[in-house]
Structure formats: structure tokens, C-alpha cells
Amino acid sequence: MRYTGILLALVATTAIASDRITIDPVEFMVTWPDLVCRDVVITKGRIAVASDAFMILQLPGGNVTLKPPWLDRDDLRPLFEHCTSVLTDDRCDVAAEGTVGKVAVGNGPQLEGVDFSLAGSVGSGAHPLVISREQCELVREELITSMSNYKASQEALRRAQIAMIDLVSLNFELQHLGGEHDLSPITDRVQKAIDEVSAANKYALAARKDNSAKGAIAFMNVCGPPPG
């Protein structure tokens, strides 16, 4: 029985492996409706607008929306470093493996449960990305979220600065209180809090970078205005 189980497992593994289709990008764009729910490896495409929520894989003749889960999150590091723009270069060329599906809005292909591997260099230089209206709207939502998060971080920084001013004022008052009680332990703690808030503010100001204007311009160049 033990050997029978091993043989059955080997047969099942072989069947699963044989169900995965390796396909070139042009052939995928032609035949993807027949591949829905199948596991495929698209041998080459270019990643754009990479994020944890979704990505776009540019192929000849169209684009594929890539959706998580990402099977190996270590693969995301170079994509997040080089491929978050709508204009990308050959550093973003990959082979992508996943399960074929259809986007919820529109009639385009998508891959879910994606695993990436390096597709190899095919030349250099950025080139325009042609994407569908549905994919444009996904990018638009990401831009809006990014701008909202930036505004929220600005408001949090403003409140932290106000709190620091209050702490400085409180510390001054404590240091000048009369009486026989030793308030130095309290004032020392307040001063430590002031120093920590000041350091955090300085770090936040140095790290703060708003690319929303550049992102909006790049988006409009590729996608144009929102639909009426």
C-alpha cells in the first residue's frame, strides 16, 4: 500500500505539471479566453504600475492585469524599486506564471497567484505603455489613494508639531514651579519626549516626498482624462 501511494502521488504530480502551459506572449493574447482557469507561464512581458494590490504585464497586442497572492514576495523588491511607473524599461521584463482569469470590469485577461522570473534583457530605454481603460482606472485609484495617504501624513506631522510645542511649554512651566518638591524626574521625562518627537519630525520631513504631481502628469499622458 505504501508503494501504491507513492506511485499515485507521482502520477498526480506529473498530471499537475503537465496542466501548466508555457506560452509566448503573442499566443497568449490570441488564445487567453480558452485558457481561463488554466495555469500558464507567459514567457516574457514588461511590468508597469507595480504595487502590492495589482500590476500590469505589457504584452504585444494587449496587457494582462496581475493580481495577488504573489507566490514569492522576494520577487517584489526589484519590481517595487524599478517598475512602479507607467513608463518602465527592460529591468521590468519578466516571465509570469499564474492562473488565467478575466478582469471584473471589461473583457481583459488577468493572472492570479503570480510567480515571477527574470525574462532577460531585450534592449534598453523606456517606452510608452498602452493600457486599457479598465487598467487606467485601476491606476487612477492607486494615484488617488497615494495622494490621500500623503495628505494624511502631512496632517499627522502637523499635529505632532503642535504637541511638541505644548510639551515645550509644559516643561518650561514645570521647571519654574516653586516649592520643596523635586520636579526634575518629571521635567527630564518631558524633555526626553520632546527630543523623541523632534527627532521623529526631522526624520519625517527628510523622508517626505510627494510624487503625486509627476504621477498625475504621467498618468494623463498615457490614459488621458477620466471617462465622462
Domain ranges of the chain: 19-130, 134-223
pLDDT tens readout for residues 184-214:
777 777 777 777 777 776 666 665 555 556 6
- Using a CB cutoff of 8 Å and minimum separation of 24, what contacts does 201-207 make? 201/157, 201/160, 201/161, 201/164, 204/153, 204/157, 204/160, 205/157
Contacts with 156 (C-beta within 8 Å, 6 or more apart), sequence order: none
CA dist 24 and 32 (Å) reads 11
Instruction: Look at residue 1 in the predicted model and tell me its pLDDT.
Output: 39
Query: What is the CATH class of 19-130?
Result: mainly beta
> What amino acid is encoded at 225 in this protein?
P
Q: What stretch of H or E contains 204?
A: helix 184-207
pLDDT tens readout for residues 86-126:
888 888 999 999 999 998 777 889 999 999 987 543 333 44
**Reported pTM:** 0.49
Asked whether the predicted pLDDT for residue 81 surpasses 60, the reply is: yes
